[in-house]
Amino acid sequence: DSGAAASGRSILGLVGLAADGGTEVAVSAGGPDAGHAAAAVMRLITDGFGEMEEGPATAAGPARASRDGAQPATPEGALAGQPGAPGVGVGPLARLQLQPIAVPDEPGGDAGQERGRLAEARREVAATLKRGRSPGAAADPQAGILAAHLELLEDPELDAGIEPGLTAGRSAARAWSDAIEVQRKRLAALPGEVFAQRATDVADVGRQVLAALLGVRQQPQVAAGAIVAADDVVPSLVPALRDARAAGLALGGSSATSHAAVLARGLGLPLVVGLGAALDTVAEGTPALLDGGRGLLLLDPAEEVVRAAQRAQREARAAHEQARAEAAAPAVTPDGTAITVAANVASLAEARAAVEEGADEVGLLRTELTFLDREGLPGEDEQVEALTGILETLHPRPVIVRTLDVGGDKPAPALGLDPVRNGFLGQRGLRLSLAWPELFHTQLRAILRAARGHRVRLMFPLVSTVTEVRGAKRRLAEARASLEADGLGFGEIEQVGIMVEVPAAALAADHLAPEADFFSIGSNDLLQYVMAADRTLAEVSALRDPRHPALLRLVAMTCRAAAATGRWVGVCGEIAGDRELARLLIGLGVTELSMAPRSIPAVKAMIRATTRATAEAFAAAAVAPPELRRRPNREPAHE
């Protein structure tokens, strides 16, 4: 025990404590949400401070390794690096030019005024970061990077380093610059990629605030169509380079797992990293072809090489557009079974992606993300505004709105949830909404108001009993009546359904069916409950096999109960976006599959190539006891 301590609110302090991979860190917390706070800090440390995102598949292992493990020869006139972000760019090489930031050494003014100037600069940078972040897309690596930068802006360790400088009479810019440099050097001196990335993040945030303080323009000076060369870039420059229409980015240093590379992949900017010092010897303006997928920078490429690369780009673009165009059409099996292919969304950005990728409708609109990562609860008007923007983007597609689903692995600080009482086996999902009637009433009113002019269906999460469904429908009727009494406009709910996430709901689906217009199977939760394997624990991940007959039989049982009462069944868990598993689900009787937007074109293509009979044969084999299983033959004519 070194005796060192750090605040759980400080990413910089926590990183410092866990500098060595084997360091044992004790976490303690107090207050009403102490359990969740401690758990969040432990997850942050064990997950590598958010640095576990892998690079592209082509970047794993040695660059451009062939199938037999040998390194392919580098083409003549080319520099070899590592793949950073796929894509091909052609254009003249241009050195990255940034306006230097010179921090004046003259004394500052009144300490209070300097604090105010610094606070205003930090607010300006925070507003810029928030504009670039998709609300609710916390799982998106790009959003995670922006969120990390927002946290660094307010890190207590930085505040502790700034205050002595201000008290000593230094300017806001000098005090900020000195504090940033102390933290950057501290992190850069630590071994490992995690700390190198955090050092880059600190430098990036530091530069943005200094630019705001000193009025320095941060946009890179790059000609459109250029291959931009630099030793490294901070993450915030990648979107700016994309906006400046750079053809690609060539870096002497960096890595495929850097935050700059994560952003480049997400924004479609071709990138090669690790080109080394040889990049410095290339003359400005040299014609170049950058191949991000192969990790190559070709200098003075022959005209036929350029034409071939551009042709390949055009063909890839055309194939992508064709897939999207086909995805917009209905998905019907060769023997005439129509399957609805829907999207899971939580933000405007995901709603736009759903439209672009050809979603027939939205099978899951998550509402809980409006409640997460905030100290206060969202009001009714705020919820209406958030929902309306998404519904307008998706119009006229039907949208299934799920009511608040917090608890388990989704804590909501404003609610002060307890990790046990509101854990996976506690009061979460619909149980929590029914226990908090005012919270539920406000959300139902917001959903009804936002539904005006749109096709909205409602879905209750984590249902176990008929009593719960009837209670939720009563609350919906009360919310509707209150809006009528207040003279506020609202829309009608097309259908009211439930999520089947608890084995009890699947086993008693025939009793629940009369109370619900549809069932939507949440396979992630259903699998963890039926296998008694916490979905957040890696130690039991082997038990969470979505092909396990126990899960598939519950799906089949739900589909039979639904069919007997004229209801339909959808699946909105991760398995819906897997082509093989989606085929099994169709064979079991599922008629709606809801998934991440990017999976839609491939799943629709699978449906159009698979007969219902083939899907049923696959499903029958999958639910059979292991000793009786036989994988059915595929249909050559369609698959």
Predicted local distance difference test score (pLDDT) of residue 537 = 72
pLDDT tier at 134, thresholds 50, 70, 90: very low
Q: Are 525 and 501 in contact (CB under 8 A)?
A: yes
Predicted local distance difference test score (pLDDT) of residue 413 = 72
What are the DSSP calls for 363-400, one per residue?
EEE--GGGTSS-SS---HHHHHHHHHHHHHHHTTS-EE
Q: What is the largest CA-CA distance in the chain?
A: 83
More confident residue, 192 or 556: 556
pLDDT tier at 62, thresholds 50, 70, 90: very low
Res. 138: pLDDT tops 70: no
The ranges assigned to domains in the chain are: 1-49, 328-628
Angstrom distances, CA of residue 539 to CA of 52, 523, 535, 536 = 18, 20, 10, 9
More confident residue, 167 or 128: 167
What are the DSSP calls for 595-615, one per residue?
E-GGGHHHHHHHHHT--HHHH
Q: For 406-438, how does the pLDDT look when each residue is reduced to its tens digit (9 = 90+)?
A: 877 666 777 888 878 888 888 899 999 999 999
Predicted local distance difference test score (pLDDT) of residue 15 = 57
Predicted local distance difference test score (pLDDT) of residue 330 = 94
The CATH classification of domain 328-628, taken from the options 3.30.110.40, 3.20.20.60, 3.30.360.10, 3.30.300.30: 3.20.20.60
The catalytically annotated residue of 149, 259, 454, 559 is 259
The verdict on whether 149 is a catalytic residue reads no
Q: What is the mean pLDDT of residues 21-42?
A: 52
Q: What is the mean pLDDT of the chain?
A: 83
Between CA 528 and CA 545 the distance in angstroms is: 9
**Residue 253: both structure tokens together:** 């240093």
Predicted local distance difference test score (pLDDT) of residue 16 = 58
pLDDT tier at 40, thresholds 50, 70, 90: very low
More confident residue, 466 or 67: 466
More confident residue, 50 or 233: 233
SS (H, E, C) 156-174: HHHHHHHHHHHHCCCCHHH
The verdict on whether 259 is a catalytic residue reads yes
Q: What is the mean pLDDT of residues 243-248?
A: 90
How many whole angstroms from its chain centre is CA 144? 8
More confident residue, 554 or 5: 554
Q: For 599-634, how does the pLDDT look when each residue is reduced to its tens digit (9 = 90+)?
A: 899 899 999 999 999 999 999 999 876 555 555 444
The catalytically annotated residue of 36, 454, 559, 572 is 572
Predicted local distance difference test score (pLDDT) of residue 456 = 98
Q: What is the mean pLDDT of residues 293-299?
A: 92
More confident residue, 142 or 211: 211
Return the top range by mean pLDDT from 7-16, 73-82, 153-162, 464-473: 464-473
How many whole angstroms from its chain centre is CA 354? 14
pLDDT tier at 635, thresholds 50, 70, 90: very low
